[in-house]
Amino acid sequence: MAAGFRTTKVDKRRLTEPSRSQYSSTGRLQAIKKAQRYRAVQAYQRKAKPFATEQKPGSGGFQAGSIVQAQRIWDEGQAKDRAESFRPANDLKADVYQDLYS
């Protein structure tokens, strides 16, 4: 249990009667438990798989950020302008209602 620790057991038989009644092993036991918890956490962290974001297609991965977004918006604007260029040009008059009601 206490292998590798310097908190060895105290033989109460070798203590005097007043020392025997005053001695408490809870400090030593708490130190051992604390060290065991620490070692357990360290062992778990060493065995845990490190977090890594996948950089495979379709996984989300890392994005180029605002540069890609700006390019996409620009491309959409170009597509919109091209679509509008195919529409027939209407000669809009300043007063549309003039022809309707005259």
pTM of the model: 0.39
In tens, the pLDDT along 39-71 reads: 999 999 999 887 776 666 665 556 677 788 889
85 domain-assigned: no
In tens, the pLDDT along 77-93 reads: 999 999 988 887 776 66
Tokens 């509008």, located at residue: 84
- If one counts the domains in the chain, the total is 1
pLDDT of residue 68: 84
16 domain-assigned: yes
19 domain-assigned: yes
38 domain-assigned: yes
> How remote is the C-alpha of 7 from its chain's centroid?
40
Q: Is 31 exposed, middle or buried (0-12, 13-18, 19+ CB in 10 A)?
A: middle
Q: Which domain holds residue 19?
A: 12-47
101: confidence class by pLDDT, cuts 50, 70, 90: confident
Mean pLDDT, to the nearest integer, of 12-29? 84
